[in-house]
Amino acid sequence: MTVARTARDRARQEITAEILAAGRAQLHRTGPSELSLRAVARDVGMVSSAVYRYFASRDELLTALIIAAYDELGAAAEAADEAVEDRTDHLARWQATCRATREWSVAHPHDYALIYGSPVPGYAAPQDTVMPATRVIVRLVEIIVGAHASGHTSGAAAPPAGAVDPSPVVADAMAFIAEHSDISLEALPELVMRTLMAWSTIFGTLSFELFGHLKGSVSDYESYFEQTTLRLAGDLGLA
* Sites of contact with DNA (CB under 7 A): 5-9, 11-12, 15, 35-39, 45-50, 52-54, 56-59
Q: How far is the CB of 19 from DNA (least distance, A)?
A: 10
In degrees, rounded to 5, the angle at the alpha carbon of residue 219 between the alpha carbons of residues 144 and 79 is: 35
For residue 238, the cross-strand partners are 153
Residue closer to DNA by CB (options 35, 236) is 35
Residue closer to its own copies by CB (options 56, 169) is 169
Number of residues that bind its own copies (CB under 8 A): 64
- Residue (of 35, 110, 37, 103) closest to 69 by Cα position: 110
What are the E-state strand segments in 53-121? Answer: none
For its own copies, the binding residues in 219-238 under the rule CB under 8 A are 219-220, 223-224, 227-228, 230-235
Contact (Cβ atoms closer than 8 angstroms) between residue 174 and residue 189 = yes
As a whole number of Å, the end-to-end CA separation of the chain is 41
For its own copies, the binding residues in 71-130 under the rule CB under 8 A are 91, 110, 113, 116-122, 125, 130
Can you tell me whether residue 163 is helix, strand or coil? coil
Task: Count Cβ atoms below 10 Å from residue 68 Cβ, excluding itself.
Answer: 19
Which of DNA, its own copies, none is residue 217 near (CB under 5 to 8 Å by kind)? its own copies
- Residue (of 67, 225, 74) closest to 138 by Cα position: 74
For its own copies, the binding residues in 5-64 under the rule CB under 8 A are 30-34
Interface residues with its own copies (CB under 8 A) are 30-34, 91, 110, 113, 116-122, 125, 130, 133, 157, 159-164, 166, 168-173, 176, 193-194, 196-197, 199-205, 207-208, 211-213, 216-220, 223-224, 227-228, 230-235
